Amino acid sequence: MKPLSSDEIYGNWATLLLATDKNGEIDVSRMNDEIDVLIDSQPNGIYSNGTAGEFYSQTDDEFLRISELLAVKCEKGGIPFQIGISHMSPQISLHRLKMITHLKPGA
């Protein structure tokens, strides 16, 4: 995905909600389906790891798995995507940025 300029980030951006199973584990299958539904709705883009994505409770492995899933599906669907790297710890935020740079999110 090419980096987006500020004037290209507009309109309706859908948020990827964190899907969990009855044990509180991330349900990747449901998240996969959720991304498909979001792409089919043709938003201006999709973003992950907002406050509804429970970004603060994800392990590095979970964060990367969700980010990779979103990136692959959005690239295939031609939908711009953003990956939130927010965390209460600035060191973790910086670490997460380094983890996902190779995915080339639009923002």
β-pair type (13-15, 45-48): parallel
Tens digits of per-residue pLDDT, 1-47? 778 998 989 999 999 999 999 998 999 999 999 999 999 999 999 99
Tens digits of per-residue pLDDT, 37-71? 999 999 999 999 887 767 778 899 999 999 999 99
First vs last C-alpha separation in the chain: 9
Q: Could you say which DSSP state residue 43 is in?
A: -
- Distances in whole angstroms, Cα of residue 77 to Cα of each of 4, 17, 92: 17, 18, 30
Average pLDDT score over the chain:
92
Residue 75 has pLDDT above 80, yes or no: yes
The rounded percent of the chain whose pLDDT value lies above 70 is 99
CB 58: neighbour CB atoms within 10 A?
19
CA distance 56 to 48: 12
